[in-house]
């Protein structure tokens, strides 16, 4: 099994690259952001609860996100593996993922980080906000708050996986295809 965490700040291109990677490697894609947005659209209890956090650029509480991820893995268990996009985002989530995968007799193969400058990212997100309809991409102060949360709560996960010898950084600037090729090389090397 190949269980890849695609890591990087908001706007780094995790969603775009995930779509290409699942096609090439036959993995199941778990984007926690997509699952939340689906629930918001369908006005489920989870969606209504998550919306207030997401619209303010804050993280949905770990307990809720961790439970959702365990359910997803249970329902989508498969032989190929998963690509995790936007999860884990805190050390507590990283610890949860270790536990859940262990319960399914598997583990994280690698965390692959897309590295992109913050100024480039703000521009990308504001551009995306013009067409995506995502309220959290349309207001620069909310975008800046997402980076603050990323730097404070999410970036320590790089060390968490580096200590396990599972961290790989990839240049996230350039054409979509170039970045994809760099990711494939990293995955093939790790596997």
Query: Which residue, 61 or 191, has its beta carbon nearer to ligand ADP?
Result: 61
10 binds ligand ADP (CB under 6 A): yes
Q: Which stretch binds ligand ADP (CB under 6 A): 49-57, 106-114, 157-165, 182-190?
A: 49-57
Distance, in Å, from the CA atom of 5 to the CA atom of 20, rounded to the nearest integer, reads 14
Q: Give 101's contacts (C-beta < 8 A, 6+ positions apart).
A: 3, 73, 107, 108
Residue nearest to ligand ADP (CB): 33
Query: If you compute the radius of gyration of the chain from its CA atoms, what whole number of angstroms results?
Result: 16
Residue among 146, 157, 161, 183 that touches ligand ADP (CB under 6 A): 146
Residue among 4, 59, 108, 111 that touches ligand ADP (CB under 6 A): 59
Q: How many CA atoms lie within 13 A of 164 on its CB side?
A: 16
Which structure tokens are listed for 119?
């100024």
Looking at 56-139, list the stretches that DSSP marks H as alpha helix, in order from N- to C-terminal side. Answer: 62-75, 91-103, 118-132
160 binds ligand ADP (CB under 6 A): no
- As beta bridge partners, residue 31 has 85
CB of 148 to ligand ADP, least distance (A): 11
60 binds ligand ADP (CB under 6 A): yes
Which structure tokens are listed for 105?
């007799």
Q: Which stretch binds ligand ADP (CB under 6 A): 17-25, 54-62, 114-122, 175-183?
A: 54-62
Beta strands, E only, the chain = 2-7, 28-31, 81-85, 110-115, 167-171
Site string for ligand ADP, 82-121 (x = CB under 6 A): ----xx-x---x----------------------------
Binding site for ligand ADP (CB under 6 A): 10-11, 32-33, 36, 53-54, 57-60, 65, 86-87, 89, 93, 136, 146
**Catalytic residue numbers, as ranges:** 14, 89, 128, 134, 146
């Amino acid at each position: 099994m190949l269980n890849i965490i695609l890591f990087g700040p908001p706007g780094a291109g995790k969603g775009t690259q995930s779509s290409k990677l699942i096609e090439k490697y036959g993995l199941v894609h778990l984007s926690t952001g997509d699952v939340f947005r689906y629930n918001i659209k369908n006005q489920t209890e989870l969606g209504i609860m998550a919306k207030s956090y997401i619209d303010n650029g804050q993280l949905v509480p770990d307990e809720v996100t961790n439970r959702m991820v365990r359910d997803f893995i249970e329902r989508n268990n498969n032989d190929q593996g998963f690509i995790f996009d936007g999860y884990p985002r805190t050390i507590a989530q990283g610890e949860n993922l270790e536990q859940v995968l262990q319960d399914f007799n598997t583990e994280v193969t690698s965390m692959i980080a897309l590295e992109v400058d913050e100024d480039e990212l703000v521009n990308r997100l504001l551009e995306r906000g013009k067409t995506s309809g995502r309220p959290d991409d349309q207001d620069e102060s909310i975008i800046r708050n997402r980076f603050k949360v990323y730097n404070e709560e999410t970036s320590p996960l790089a060390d968490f996986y580096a200590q396990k010898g599972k961290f790989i950084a990839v240049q996230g600037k350039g054409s979509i295809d170039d970045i994809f090729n760099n990711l494939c090389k990293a995955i093939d090397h790790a596997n």
